[in-house]
Structure 1
Amino acid sequence: MAESWKCVDLHCGGEPARIVLSGVPDLQGQTMAEKRKYFMENYDNLRKILLTEPRGYPCQNVNFLVPPTNPEADFGYIIGEQNKIYPLFSGHNTICTVTCILETGLHKITEPVTNLVLEAPGGLIEISAECKDGRVLKVKMKSMLSFVEKCNVKVQVPDIGEVCADIVFSGMWYVVVDIHQLGIDLKPENGRKLASVGERIKVAAREQHPVNHPTLDYPGPDILVFMTKPNKEDGMFVSQNTVVMSNGQLDWNNPDTFTAMLDRSPCGSGTAAVITLLHHKKVMKKGDTLRHHGILQTYMYGHILDTHELEDGSIGVLPEISGRAWMTARTEIIMEKDDPLQTGYTVSDIW
């Protein structure tokens, strides 16, 4: 008999996310972070089934709805991405998950605003969703506390040279790079070059400047955002970005592995990383907002809600991220037990 999962597919600003409504196994662990760890160690085959070919494609993500472990939360969720990356938090995945929960009736919609709480592996995420006629028009969330770990570090990248970067935690560990120093325009037609250059910078930064979260055992860096310098328009900061995500293992001796993929959305945790860095560099302050455009010119908003002093005396930022998702499909994903390629596959022509 075939195993099957009920899924809803959505996208937020172009980045596709798959929400699994049923078929998720019981997970061991007393916290969502422990459930994430157990899932990674015992059920990563589910991520492979749903994200690799023939059911997935390189830029897809998946979110598994699970019972929350905190009584304040309405739902728990575990985020899975390509290359066995399980973020502690992801903005666009959260926006897609909230939209799925409300538009499929898993949680009652109240208009004009529905409030709920999700439990991510990184902690509780407070949600305020603007709703009308059964649709979710905007999802606003209080993100994880974000902070700059390393500022203006020098990264030596083979065949590229020295790159100046910052390393910021905002649910994932971001290498933040001003794209102007590389002379590449953030346009879709430059996607292959941006992905290749970004992946090499990120891997070099991880080798030369490794980091780990002080309390959550989350090493990095594991992702990169190219940013542009912000402009001020009508009292709001405006800038562009693209986020580089891994889709394989880079081998410095094999240029064929210098591949990656670009986040199609403006990226929620990437937006949180950028506003946190801009606050650190005294460009933005508490109460300021950034309209952050992605590679497709879709955008999210990043707002600095508050700041907190960390144990080491540095200042962390509490970001508020907002954006919208659109449903694209409701599907039943099937895995036949006599399929010789049960858990999917990748081929390096597109991966």
Structure 2
Amino acid sequence: MSGELTLKLIDTHAGGDVSRIVVGGIDPLPGTTVREQMVYLRDDADGLRKLLLSEPYGIPEMSVDLIVPATNPLAEAGYIIMEVMGYPIYSGSNTICTATALLESGMIPKQEGHQRFVLESPAGLVQIEAEVVNGVVEAITCGGLPSYIDSYRETIHVPSIGNVTYSIAYSGGFYALVDARALGFSLTLEEESRLSLCAYAIVEAIQAKGGFSHYTLGDVGPLPFLHFMGPEEQVGDGFYRSRSATYVHPGVICRSTTGTGTSARLALMHHEGRIQPGDKLETVSLRNTGFIGELISVRQEGPHQVVENTITGKSYVLARSEIVVNCHDPMVDCGGLHHILTSERGS
């Protein structure tokens, strides 16, 4: 036995965030839902995530999405999201990339014009709208998770920074939302490393205060994310634009503004009475890429006003490849991985 196996990948990016879509080489996972399959990967086969986000195959700034069969008959396919911080149940940029890869690979047949289908994420069913022009996927609109404000304009003392005012939103994960200008940032690419250090200090301080509980999911772990908000400008009727940056892990500022970060902004703007259903916000990254969030509707859930929203963006295919996984390579750790690798040899 050579110990050499292969994984089939489609590398994509949306807004600069690279998502590696795994389309072959992994055995079927146990679980009656995509959420249960995600839990199995997390608890018993985390080697796939570590392999593809670490040297020599990848870097922590990337994401991985594993295509799995849908367990709900309404969905065309399922997908499991893996990032350096773990297994988020939802991600806008990963959903946009996954939907694009499924269409561009033919796993879901493309239809010219406006196309609708459903995917199954660990968070549940996701409605997808694709715009296909001359055979090219030009835009993907996906449903964002219901979002709400948990805490509004609280203040915390952060060593080396001082007092910081922040709000907490849930949009698929809990986000700290902070005013970039109040912290001395213009949200330019040159500030990226300083933004990361600043966000890390703030997140550590908020985590030390305690965790947050979702109104139906309960304890979803410590606060992982921070979103820097630039000034908003109105660029059209019900259309706003703002520079933004999202921190997800020590040393990692996302290349894009992130879909969940954009959803969190919509929840805050509605909480402050500054947007209504039908209004849109374009968040613009340090690299001048953007996502457009639209507030669809609002409903009351206990003490929370919950915002239904969509996120629109474009993904590009970077590569279609087979990578060799050689478990005898001293740089490759097959622990937590070998038992889910399909035992077919690459040619």
**TM-score, structure 2 as length reference:** 0.92
1:89 to 2:90 alignment: yes
CA shift, 1:137, in A, is 0.2
Q: Is the 8 A contact 1:180 1:228 kept in 2?
A: yes
Q: Is the 8 A contact 1:173 1:219 kept in 2?
A: no
Q: Which residue of 1 aligns with 2:248?
A: 245
Q: Is the 8 A contact 1:210 1:221 kept in 2?
A: yes
In structure 1, stretches of 5+ residues that fail to align are 247-258, 345-351
Q: Which residue of 1 aligns with 2:299?
A: 308
1:335 to 2:336 alignment: no
The correspondence of residues 206-285 of structure 1 with structure 2, limited to 5 A, is 206-216=207-217, 217-235=219-237, 236-246=239-249, 259-285=250-276
Q: Residue by residue, what CA displacement relative to the aligned partner does 1:83-118 show, whole Å, maximum 9, x if unpaired? A: 3x2111111111100110000100011110121111
Residue type of the alignment partner of 2:33: T
Distance 2:188 2:255 in 1: 11
Residue type of the alignment partner of 2:244: N
CA shift, 1:218, in A, is 2.2
Distance 2:205 2:5 in 1: 41
Distance 1:63 1:145 in 2: 22
Q: Is the 8 A contact 1:213 1:219 kept in 2?
A: no
In structure 2, stretches of 5+ residues that fail to align are 335-347
Q: Is the 8 A contact 1:276 1:316 kept in 2?
A: yes
Residue type of the alignment partner of 2:277: K
Q: Secondary structure at the match of 2:31?
A: coil
Q: Which residue of 2 aligns with 1:123?
A: 124
Identity %: 34
Distance 1:185 1:273 in 2: 20
Q: Is the 8 A contact 1:65 1:78 kept in 2?
A: yes
1:108 to 2:99 alignment: no
CA shift, 1:267, in A, is 1.1
1:20 to 2:27 alignment: no
Q: Secondary structure at the match of 1:143?
A: strand
Q: Which residue of 1 aligns with 2:53?
A: 51
User: After TM superposition, which residue ranges in structure 1, 4 or more long, deviate above 4 angstroms?
Assistant: none
Q: Give the counterpart of 2:312 among 314, 322, 330.
A: 322
Q: Is the 8 A contact 1:243 1:267 kept in 2?
A: yes
Q: Is the 8 A contact 1:46 1:343 kept in 2?
A: no
Residue type of the alignment partner of 1:194: L
Residue type of the alignment partner of 1:73: A
Distance 2:273 2:324 in 1: 51
Q: Secondary structure at the match of 1:34?
A: helix
Q: Is the 8 A contact 1:155 1:208 kept in 2?
A: no
Q: Which residue of 1 aligns with 2:344?
A: none
Distance 1:152 1:34 in 2: 36
The total of aligned residue pairs comes to 330
Residue type of the alignment partner of 2:323: I
CA shift, 1:19, in A, is 0.2
Distance 1:287 1:101 in 2: 29
CA shift, 1:56, in A, is 0.4
CA shift, 1:26, in A, is 2.5
The correspondence of residues 45-194 of structure 1 with structure 2, limited to 5 A, is 45-83=47-85, 85-194=86-195
User: RMSD value over aligned CA atoms?
Assistant: 1.4
CA shift, 1:209, in A, is 4.0
